[in-house]
Amino acid sequence: MRTDSLWGQLLGSPSLVGSGPAKSVSLAREGSNPSPGATPEKAYIGRFSPTNIGENMSYFVKDYMDKEFPTLEIEASVVEAAKALAKQGKGYVIILERGKPYGIVTEWDLVSKVLATEKDPKKTPLRQITATPLVTIDPDEDMLKASELMQTKGIKRIPVVKSGVIYGVITANNIAQKCGEYVNKSVKDILRWSFPIV
């Protein structure tokens, strides 16, 4: 695997995003026999298998998501949603129905579905402007999967849900802010497992 391929995935190259799930790494441990015919200077501690690349380069959504996020029950008003948006400064509110994730309301929803249509926010039910069903992601998914989902669905925030429980929200800002750290770790993994034995 080339580092430029990894960069391409992180930056959303159309030729790479959506090419398939992350694959695991098959590693040859130190002391194991090198490939037949390999000379000492070409013997490597770790080798990437074409079908097993990715496990040690996987950085999970749960490690980068926002664990604090605003929520409202579906019975709340649009005015309450606006107040929650202003107070939390997150740009979104997760909408629950009987405590379960139901949908999401963003600042854009308030602008496009309430203000632009000249609706009265005091009389407009929150249910009318809530985007549902939710696009969600498992906390153990890779960040690249989250990035791919955002690109495919045209969204910037994905609730992190498992077994009907919401654990956090991964956002485009999370990915952008952590992109450098993610790449640095991945490159270090590549170098670590491909470093030649001397």
In a domain, 171, yes or no: no
SS (H, E, C) 103-170: EEEEHHHHHHHHHCCCCCCCCCEHHHCCECCCCCECCCCEHHHHHHHHHHHCCCEEEEEECCEEEEEE
pLDDT of residue 125: 87
In a domain, 162, yes or no: no
- Amino acid in the structure at residue 190: I
In a domain, 166, yes or no: no
Same domain as 83, residue 118: yes
Average pLDDT estimate for 100-115: 93
Using the predicted structure, report yes or no on whether residue 29 has a pLDDT greater than 80.
no
The CB-side HSE value for 84 (13 A sphere, CA atoms) comes to 21
In a domain, 37, yes or no: yes
Same domain as 111, residue 79: yes
In a domain, 145, yes or no: no
Residues of the chain with pLDDT > 70: what percent?
61
- How far is the C-alpha of 185 from the C-alpha of 106, rounded, in Å? 32
Cα 134 → chain centroid: 14
Same domain as 7, residue 44: yes
In a domain, 152, yes or no: no
Q: Count other Cβ atoms within 10 Å, centred on residue 36.
A: 5
Q: What is the CATH number of the domain that holds 110?
A: 3.90.1280.20
Using the predicted structure, report yes or no on whether residue 18 has a pLDDT greater than 90.
no
Q: Identify the weakest region by mean pLDDT among 27-36, 103-112, 180-189.
A: 27-36
In a domain, 169, yes or no: no
User: What are 122-168's pLDDT values in tens digits?
Assistant: 888 899 999 999 999 999 998 889 989 999 999 999 999 999 999 99
Q: Identify the weakest region by mean pLDDT among 16-20, 73-77, 179-183.
A: 16-20
Q: In total, how many domains does the chain have?
A: 2
In a domain, 138, yes or no: no
Domain extent, residue 99, equals: 74-129
| Higher pLDDT pick, 21 / 92 | 92
Nearest to residue 136, comparing CAs of 117, 121, 123, 153?
153
The CB-side HSE value for 128 (13 A sphere, CA atoms) comes to 15
Task: Identify the domain boundary among 109, 129, 149.
Answer: 129
* DSSP structural state of residue 57: G
- How far is the C-alpha of 64 from the C-alpha of 71, rounded, in Å? 19
